Amino acid sequence: MMQGAAQRPSVPRSGAPARAVGVGRIKVVDMTVRNDTLPGAAGQAAHRRLVGRLLRGTAWSMVGIAALGLTRLIYTALVGRTGDPARLAEVNAQVSLAFFATFATAAATGAGASKFLPLLTASSGPAAAAAVRRRLRHWTILSTGTVTAGIAALGPWLLPGTGYDGVVEVCALTVAYGAYSYTKSVLYGFHLAHRYAVLEVCADTAILVLTVAAVWWAPDLVLAPLVIGYAAFAIGATLSTPRHVPGPIPPVGAELGGFVAFTALGIAAGQGFFQISMVVARHTADGGDAGAYAAAMALVSPAFFLPRALALAFFPAAAEAVGRGDDRALAQHTRQLTRLLWLAAAPALTVAAIVGTPALRLVFGPSYEGGGPVLAILLGAVLLYVLAVPSVNVLSAQPLRFARIPPLASTVGGLVGAVTWLVLAERLGAVGVACGYLAGMLVQAGTPLTITFRRIGPPRPATAARVVLSLLVSVGLGWLAVADPQPIVVGVGVVGYLAIFCVLFRRDLVATARIVRHKGGFPKPSAPLTT
């Protein structure tokens, strides 16, 4: 996570080819050995554009995704507060199924737009990018229509107790959220993060206003506000993106199709793994236990949004840098971004786990405080997800033979989680479902982290020891707070953990603060990374 420059592999002379290094049976490129192919002044200017887009895009993304996370939390709290845990479990299962369906379709084609639009614009021009955009739009419509038809046919079995009117709402939400996911990625493909943020805030405001009306006057239509809000976003995003006359399709057919297919597999097995766990909890746990799992999911969900905001900005910038051959900057940024995420996420998620039971009681009511153990386990899994985001994006921005690594890891992790569910879910209920998610995330996040940091240099032994010690303290204090959620135990746990973390990572916190205050956001690629 925090790497020393002494551990980085040597760099060959200018003009030397990239080295392919084997890891097991998979060959990946050592991203530190390729030299920036641009000349001095042009290379520095391109680097400044990359950093500027990354910083501006992340800032705007954080605004939009903060609004998204707050809206999801308030929406779930409104449903939970005005209904019993069984009703919350039913609604959350419906939403999760709709989202899961789009992960394998519109989210995958959207990722293709986020990668190939900036890549082809930089390498082949706007007309080539417009041709690829047109093809991706057709794939989005076809795939979304197919999964929506599948939900219409299988909905009553996938969602026990849901009538056909509820299935129709789920189908409508699938279409609307699919359009939202794809058009959002297109905005990022054109580096329009500021437009995304404005549209997101407007759509989320509409969702909350309509949800308040629905829970009081039309409780059977609580999915309608989501459908309206996401559809309005998609319309606004479509009208906000530049239009270019498509030219001939560039020779990226196999690369494009393969990337979308592997990404669909990866997103469905990765992000979809989290959503489908709610459906599993609905099938394996009783109504109250499943409702507690739904409440824990709602509190965990905002933790995904900071790394997603970073990824939305970083991935197009990374793809553009790959198109220029500027892999050295990518490697350096990967180290720094991973360190930044560790320093931000580890204390935040640990504190959330310690105060989890009181938070569930405060937000959702006393009927949901039994979800404390589930919340703590899910937060541990989310920490792994957060730390892997830069590594996943750097691998995904590479050619297909490297981009397939994260989705394959996500698929294997999903299978590991499913096996764990078969063993534990019936016996432990919601806690067993959360354990399955954690087991799968160890594979999904651990694989790209391990591969990437073997290429760019492992952490120093002292750094690794501090990270392990911090994790042990987190687990111990979190377990005490879950077992005895009294105010004095929770308070001592929070203060004690933060003090220990600051002592362990004092120098890293200072170094990261200096980087953030740097005029360019990050040192130039040739500058040594000091940690």
pLDDT of 322 strictly over 70: no
pLDDT, residue 525, reads 34
Mean pLDDT of 300-313: 72
pLDDT, residue 27, reads 37
User: In the numeric block, which tokens belong to residue 405?
Assistant: 């690594």
pLDDT, residue 100, reads 93
Mean pLDDT of 225-241: 95
Confidence band, pLDDT 50/70/90 cuts, at residue 44 = low
pLDDT, residue 469, reads 95
d(CA 119, CA 116): 5
158 SS3 class: helix
Do the Cβ atoms of 474 and 350 come closer than 8 Å? yes
Q: Please indicate whether residue 3 or residue 93 has the higher confidence score (pLDDT).
A: 93
Which pairing describes strands 26-29 and 20-23: parallel, antiparallel, or unpaired?
A: antiparallel
Confidence band, pLDDT 50/70/90 cuts, at residue 41 = low
Q: List phi, psi (to 5°) of 29.
A: -80, 135
pLDDT of 40 strictly over 80: no
Structural domain boundaries in the chain: 51-250
Closest CA to 136 of 317, 261, 2: 261
Q: Tell me what percent of the chain is helix, strand and coil, each rounded to the nearest 5.
A: 80, 0, 15
Residues 173-188: tens digit of each pLDDT: 999 999 999 999 999 8
Confidence band, pLDDT 50/70/90 cuts, at residue 262 = confident
Do the Cβ atoms of 53 and 312 come closer than 8 Å? no
pLDDT of 311 strictly over 70: no
pLDDT, residue 42, reads 56
Residues 62-89: tens digit of each pLDDT: 788 788 888 989 999 999 988 889 899 9
Mean pLDDT of 395-411: 81
Mean pLDDT of 78-102: 92
28 SS3 class: strand
pLDDT, residue 323, reads 65
399 SS3 class: coil
Mean pLDDT of 397-420: 86
d(CA 525, CA 333): 9
Q: Please indicate whether residue 43 or residue 319 has the higher confidence score (pLDDT).
A: 319
d(CA 71, CA 233): 14
d(CA 408, CA 7): 28
pLDDT, residue 182, reads 95
pLDDT, residue 318, reads 65
pLDDT, residue 320, reads 64
**3-state SS record for 178-226:** HHHHHHHHHHHHCCCHHHHHHHHHHHHHHHHHHHHHHHHHCHHHCCHHH
The pTM score is 0.75
17 SS3 class: coil
How open is the CA angle 354-356-358, to the nearest 5 degrees?
Answer: 105
Computed over every residue of the chain, the mean pLDDT equals 82
Q: Please indicate whether residue 10 or residue 474 has the higher confidence score (pLDDT).
A: 474
Per cent of the chain over pLDDT 90 is: 46
Which range of 6-10, 20-24, 60-64, 340-344 scores highest in mean pLDDT? It is: 340-344
Residues 444-476: tens digit of each pLDDT: 999 999 988 887 777 788 888 999 999 999 999
pLDDT, residue 271, reads 81
Task: Report CA 80 to chain centroid distance, whole Å.
Answer: 25
- Distance between terminal CA atoms of the chain? 10
CA distances from 258 to 107, 187, 376, 414 (A): 15, 22, 37, 20
d(CA 318, CA 333): 10
Confidence band, pLDDT 50/70/90 cuts, at residue 508 = confident
Do the Cβ atoms of 204 and 67 come closer than 8 Å? yes
Q: Please indicate whether residue 49 or residue 7 has the higher confidence score (pLDDT).
A: 49
Mean pLDDT of 487-515: 90
Place of tokens 């979190």: 478
Do the Cβ atoms of 322 and 115 come closer than 8 Å? no
| DSSP calls for 33-64 | SSPP-S-HHHHHHHHHHHHHHHHHHHHHHHHH
Q: What region, left, alpha or beta, does residue 15 occupy, with left being phi > 0 and alpha being psi -120 to 50 degrees?
A: left
How open is the CA angle 467-473-475, to the nearest 5 degrees?
Answer: 105
**3-state SS record for 472-529:** HHHHHHHHHHHHCCCHHHHHHHHHHHHHHHHHHCHHHHHHHHHHHHCCCCCCCCCCCC
